[in-house]
């Protein structure tokens, strides 16, 4: 955009004050950033290196936590400004807020703890042996029971006002025999739809249908069917308080 300033004012300030590092933070630097932020007192190791964020296992005074750190440069985000601390900080803030909204509403998401710049911390799902596995990697003993738990979980998220727009067996962890939903960076609030209710609800509906197709494919492995139209319609209808989709 022609009128977009080349650099944010806050970034200019960091450049001038010499507190901005242009190289991608390596493992040691990120660990240092986590420790100096006060989010953790110990970093145990890297759990996952994803498309745009890394997830670390850490501890706060002995209690295990997980920390998701959005990468500043090596991301799949194309274009945009050359300096990304602000935009990745915004992504971390958004995921933190969405996770908080879901958690406060009683949905099965890891309890968020704190957020500093491009990182946020949350409850660690797992045990002494390691992090909880993703649904994708698990062989379910009772797939029908688990399918019902996943669908209830999607309903509980909606009840909390959140629609997960990237639902798949990769973003559900199996912890203590239950499905836990993670990776809410792109989630949508459906309890407050503001002026763009029609757009928000249409997007939410499309995302839910896409997620359900992905999950149906996963449960298809076990020959378990998934009837989801009624659930999706129910979620959208109850969020559509003003009937904008029915007009």
Ligand X SMILES: Nc1ncnc2c1ncn2[C@@H]1O[C@H](COP(=O)(O)OP(=O)(O)OP(=O)(O)O)[C@@H](O)[C@H]1O
Beta-bridged to residue 59, according to DSSP, are: 42, 64
Considering the complex, state which of residue 146 and residue 236 has its C-beta at the smaller distance from ligand X: 146
Burial of 109 (0-12, 13-18, 19+ CB in 10 A): buried
| Minimum CB distance to ligand X, residue 145 (Å) | 22
In the complex, minimum distance from the CB of residue 56 to Mg ion, in angstroms, rounded to a whole number: 15
User: Contacting ligand X (CB under 6 A), which of 183, 190, 200, 236?
Assistant: 183
Q: In the bound complex, which residue of the shown chain has the CB atom lying closest to ligand X?
A: 50
Secondary structure element (H or E) that encloses residue 100, with its range: helix 85-104
Binds 47: which of Mg ion, ligand X, none (CB < 5-8 Å by kind): ligand X
State yes or no: residue 143 binds ligand X (CB under 6 A): no
Distances (CA, A) of 169 to 130, 137, 172, 203, 214: 19, 8, 5, 21, 8
Binding mask 164-183 for Mg ion (x = CB under 5 A): -------x-----------x
With binding defined as CB under 6 A, does residue 172 bind ligand X? Answer: no
Choose, by CB under 6 A, the member of 50, 105, 143, 155 that binds ligand X. 50
Under the binding rule (CB under 6 A), the answer on residue 161 touching ligand X is no
Q: x/- binding map, residues 51-70, to ligand X, per CB under 6 A?
A: xxx-x----------x-x--
CB of 223 to Mg ion, least distance (A): 26
d(CA 107, CA 24): 35
List the beta bridge partners of residue 181. Answer: 172
Contact of 173 with 150, CB cutoff 8 Å: no
Please tell me whether residue 179 binds ligand X under the rule CB under 6 A. Answer: no
Element (H, E) at 211: helix 197-220
Question: Does the protein bind ligand X through residue 155 (CB under 6 A)?
Answer: no
- What single string gives the DSSP state of each residue in 29-91? HHHHHHHHHTS-SEEEEEEEE-SSEEEEEEEETTEEEEEEEE-SSSSS--SS-S--HHHHHHH
Contacting range for ligand X; rule: CB under 6 A; set: 13-21, 48-56, 146-154, 238-246:
48-56
Do 245 and 198 contact (CB within 8 A), yes or no? yes
Phi, psi of 12 (to 5 degrees): -60, -40
Which of Mg ion, ligand X, none sits in contact with 124, Cβ below 5 to 8 A by type?
ligand X
Site for ligand X contains 178 (CB under 6 A): no
Question: Is 88 one of the binding residues for ligand X (CB under 6 A)?
Answer: no
Binding stretches for ligand X (CB under 6 A): 47-48, 50-53, 55, 66, 68, 110, 122-126, 131-132, 134, 170-171, 182-183
- Positions touching Mg ion (CB under 5 A) are 171, 183
């Amino acid at each position: 955009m022609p009128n977009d300033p080349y650099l944010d004012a806050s970034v200019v300030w960091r450049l001038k004050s010499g507190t901005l590092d242009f190289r991608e933070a390596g493992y040691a630097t990120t660990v240092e950033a986590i420790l100096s932020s006060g989010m953790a007192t110990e970093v145990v190791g890297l759990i996952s290196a994803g498309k745009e964020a890394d997830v670390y296992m850490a501890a706060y005074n002995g209690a295990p936590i997980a920390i998701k750190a959005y990468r500043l440069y090596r991301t799949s985000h194309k274009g945009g400004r050359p300096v990304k601390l602000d935009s990745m900080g915004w992504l971390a803030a958004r995921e933190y807020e969405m996770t908080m909204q879901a958690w406060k509403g009683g949905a099965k998401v890891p309890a968020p703890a704190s957020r500093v710049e491009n990182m946020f911390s949350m409850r660690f799902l797992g045990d002494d042996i390691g992090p909880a596995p993703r649904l994708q990697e698990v062989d379910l003993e009772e797939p029908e029971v688990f399918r019902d738990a996943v669908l209830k979980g999607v309903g509980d998220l909606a009840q909390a006002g959140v629609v997960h727009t990237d639902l798949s067996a990769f973003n559900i962890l199996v912890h203590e025999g239950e499905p836990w939903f993670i990776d809410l960076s792109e989630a949508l609030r459906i309890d407050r739809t503001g002026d763009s209710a029609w757009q928000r609800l249409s997007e939410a509906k499309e995302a839910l249908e896409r997620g359900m197709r992905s999950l149906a494919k996963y449960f298809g492995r076990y020959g378990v069917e998934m009837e989801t139209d009624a659930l999706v319609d129910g979620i959208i209808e109850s969020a559509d308080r003003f009937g904008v989709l029915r007009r």
